[in-house]
Every structure is written in C-alpha cells, then in structure tokens.
C-alpha cells in the first residue's frame, strides 16, 4: 500500500468529520489471509457499520472480544494507525471502530 503525504493531507478533513460518531454493526467478517501490509495483524475483524446519520462505513474493529462480533453491537469511530510499515515509511492513521 503506497500512501503519500499529499494523499494523507487531502483526506484529513474527511477523516476528522467521522471521529467520535457512533453506529451499529450490520455485518462483519474475520480476515485470516490479509494483504501483505497487514500480515502482522491477523486475524482481525472488518465490520460494516450503519452510522447514526444513515451512512454506511467499512472498517476494522479494534479492542474487541468475541462477544463484540454481533449484528446490532454499538461502535464508535476512532483514529488508529492504519498499518505498520518500516522505519522509513509514513505512519498513516485512519478510522477504525471500537465497541462501546
């Protein structure tokens, strides 16, 4: 995954407007065979969330337990590191979801 400082800068306002918003999980899956950039994070859940304003978003679920993987579970949008690169990489942050 190639992320440039320009791309990160351009999407910062879009990311900021979602932080702290709540929603409910409408679907989820566990990723066991990830893309190369996410190899050290498996297995991890990815959820589809219906936000309070009706918008639907896809993202990784963080700080979760098995009982958090349920349709209807309330979550909140948080800012977390997107992936771990090498020491020369840009550290990219993006929206993920945490159970409430």
User: What is the predicted pLDDT for the residue at 67?
Assistant: 95
Antiparallel, parallel or unpaired: β 56-60 and 44-51: antiparallel
Domains of the chain: 5-99 (2.40.50)
User: What is the predicted pLDDT for the residue at 85?
Assistant: 61
Q: Is the entire prediction scored with pTM above 0.85?
A: no
Query: 24 with 48: CB under 8 angstroms?
Result: no
Query: 31 with 38: CB under 8 angstroms?
Result: yes
Q: What angle do CA 12, 16, 20 make, to 5 degrees?
A: 155
User: What is the predicted pLDDT for the residue at 45?
Assistant: 96
pLDDT digits (tens, 9 = 90+) for 67-86: 999 999 999 999 888 766 66
Residue 43: CB partners within 8 Å, gap ≥ 6? Answer: 30, 31, 32
User: Could you give the count of Cα atoms lying within 13 Å of 65 in the half-sphere of its Cβ?
Assistant: 2
User: What is the predicted pLDDT for the residue at 72?
Assistant: 96
Token pair recorded at residue 4: 């440039």
């Amino acid at each position: 995954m190639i992320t440039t400082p320009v791309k990160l800068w351009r999407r910062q306002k879009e990311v900021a407007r979602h932080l702290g918003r709540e929603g409910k999980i409408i679907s989820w899956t566990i990723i066991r065979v990830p893309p190369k950039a996410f190899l050290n994070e498996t297995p991890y859940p990815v959820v589809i969330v219906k936000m309070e304003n009706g918008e639907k978003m896809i993202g990784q679920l963080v700080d979760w337990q098995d009982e958090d993987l349920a349709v209807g579970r309330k979550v909140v949008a948080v800012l977390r590191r997107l992936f771990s690169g090498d020491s020369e990489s840009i550290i990219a942050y993006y929206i993920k979801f945490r159970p409430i």
